[in-house]
């Protein structure tokens, strides 16, 4: 068993064709919105080097919890770092078969064609928030951090009535539709939406990161292949692809 698992990992990093004789497998990874961009960029690289196919099952909101609770057929799960201790304790993820692979902080966007406020420094960002007629952010991921950030900046009482919590869609979609003037969400989620201008990440002094891990599910029918993908996602070789996705490798 150890020899076979080692061969799978070797094939995942080998040159294309080296392990062509190995039987190709198909695995499924459950991914939430917070890290799906990184998963989408990592999958083709793993498929090319390993010869295996990876299906991404994109789940939003409570759909992830429901899929895990019902033991939906899948091999890996990508979710918030903080959830994995509980997933192991509940028997959903195999002990020792998970690891942190990416992180993301918040970025800021406005509607395409609108004036671009300065957000380069904490003071400039503070003024942009005070000047905005409406501010949008999500209730998940790094969203809850914004309340603490406004309190830290001393402007919570001044902005709380113009903050709109965006549910069920990316914040950038609400910006593009004109529902909010300015918005914040994870850098990898807020950037790709048409009809918006990405202003950049929060100033470093205000940045707080959401962390993401990936783990092998106990219901996996291909645990060795799943472990190989886990090894690839958490490897130094994955870092350029994670950055390409608008996220960052974890701090080591």
Tell me the per-residue pLDDT of 171-213, one tens digit each, with 9 for 90 and over. 999 999 999 999 999 998 898 789 999 999 999 999 999 899 9
Please say if the pLDDT value at position 252 is more than 80: no
What predicted TM-score, i.e. pTM, was given to this entire model? Answer: 0.80
Task: Using pLDDT thresholds of 50, 70 and 90, give the confidence band for residue 237.
Answer: very high
Domain map of the chain by residue range?
2-104+211-244, 106-206
Pairing of strands 93-104, 210-217: antiparallel
Task: Using pLDDT thresholds of 50, 70 and 90, give the confidence band for residue 143.
Answer: low
Please say if the pLDDT value at position 109 is more than 60: yes
More confident residue, 86 or 20: 86
Please say if the pLDDT value at position 68 is more than 50: yes
Lowest mean pLDDT among 2-6, 207-211, 221-225: 2-6
* CB-based contact 79:64 (threshold 8 Å): yes
Average pLDDT on 31-37 reads 88
What CATH number does the domain located at 2-104+211-244 have? Answer: 3.40.190.10
Q: Which residues contact 6 (CB under 8 A, 6 or more apart)?
A: none
Task: Tell me how far apart the alpha carbons of residues 175 and 191 are, in angstroms, rounded to a whole number.
Answer: 12
Average pLDDT on 89-105 reads 96
How is residue 140 written in tokens? Answer: 């998940």
How is residue 84 written in tokens? Answer: 């994995």
Task: Tell me how far apart the alpha carbons of residues 183 and 180 are, in angstroms, rounded to a whole number.
Answer: 7
More confident residue, 18 or 159: 159
Please say if the pLDDT value at position 48 is more than 60: yes
Share of the chain above pLDDT 70, in %: 90
| Mean pLDDT of the chain, nearest integer | 89
Please say if the pLDDT value at position 114 is more than 70: yes
pLDDT for the residue 131:
98
Between 3.30.360.10, 1.10.10.10, 3.40.50.1000, 3.40.190.10, what CATH number should domain 106-206 receive?
3.40.190.10
Average pLDDT on 105-130 reads 97
Average pLDDT on 50-72 reads 93
Task: Tell me how far apart the alpha carbons of residues 6 and 10 are, in angstroms, rounded to a whole number.
Answer: 6
Q: Say whether 106-206 and 2-104+211-244 share the same fold.
A: yes
pLDDT for the residue 22:
53
pLDDT for the residue 142:
63
pLDDT for the residue 11:
52
Task: Using pLDDT thresholds of 50, 70 and 90, give the confidence band for residue 135.
Answer: very high
More confident residue, 9 or 95: 95
* CB-based contact 203:108 (threshold 8 Å): no
DSSP string, 113-159: TS-----SSHHHHHHHHHH-S-EEEESSTTTTHHHHHHHHHT-HHHH
Task: Using pLDDT thresholds of 50, 70 and 90, give the confidence band for residue 147.
Answer: confident
Task: Using pLDDT thresholds of 50, 70 and 90, give the confidence band for residue 40.
Answer: very high
């Amino acid at each position: 068993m150890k020899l076979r698992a080692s061969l799978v990992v070797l094939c995942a990093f080998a040159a294309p064709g080296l392990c062509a004789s190995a039987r190709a497998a198909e695995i499924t990874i459950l991914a939430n919105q917070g890290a799906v961009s990184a998963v989408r960029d990592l999958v083709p690289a793993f498929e090319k080097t390993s010869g295996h196919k990876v299906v991404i099952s994109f789940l939003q909101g409570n759909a992830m919890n429901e899929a895990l609770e019902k033991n939906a057929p899948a091999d890996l799960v990508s979710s918030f770092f903080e959830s994995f201790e509980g997933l192991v304790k509940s028997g959903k993820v195999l002990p020792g078969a998970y690891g942190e692979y990416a992180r993301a902080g918040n970025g800021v966007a406005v509607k395409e064609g609108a004036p671009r406020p300065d957000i380069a420094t904490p003071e400039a960002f503070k003024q942009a928030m005070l000047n905005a007629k409406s501010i949008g952010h999500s209730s998940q991921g790094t969203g809850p951090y914004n309340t603490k950030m406004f309190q830290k900046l001393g402007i919570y009482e001044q902005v709380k009535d113009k903050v709109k919590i965006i549910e069920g869609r990316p914040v950038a979609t609400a910006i593009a539709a004109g529902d909010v003037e300015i918005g914040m969400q994870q850098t990898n989620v807020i950037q790709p939406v048409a009809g918006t201008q990405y202003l950049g990440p929060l100033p470093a002094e205000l940045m707080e990161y959401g962390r993401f891990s990936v783990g092998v599910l106990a219901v996996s029918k291909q645990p060795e292949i799943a472990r190989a993908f886990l090894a690839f996602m958490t490897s130094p070789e994955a870092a350029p692809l994670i950055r390409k996705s608008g996220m960052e490798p974890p701090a080591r």
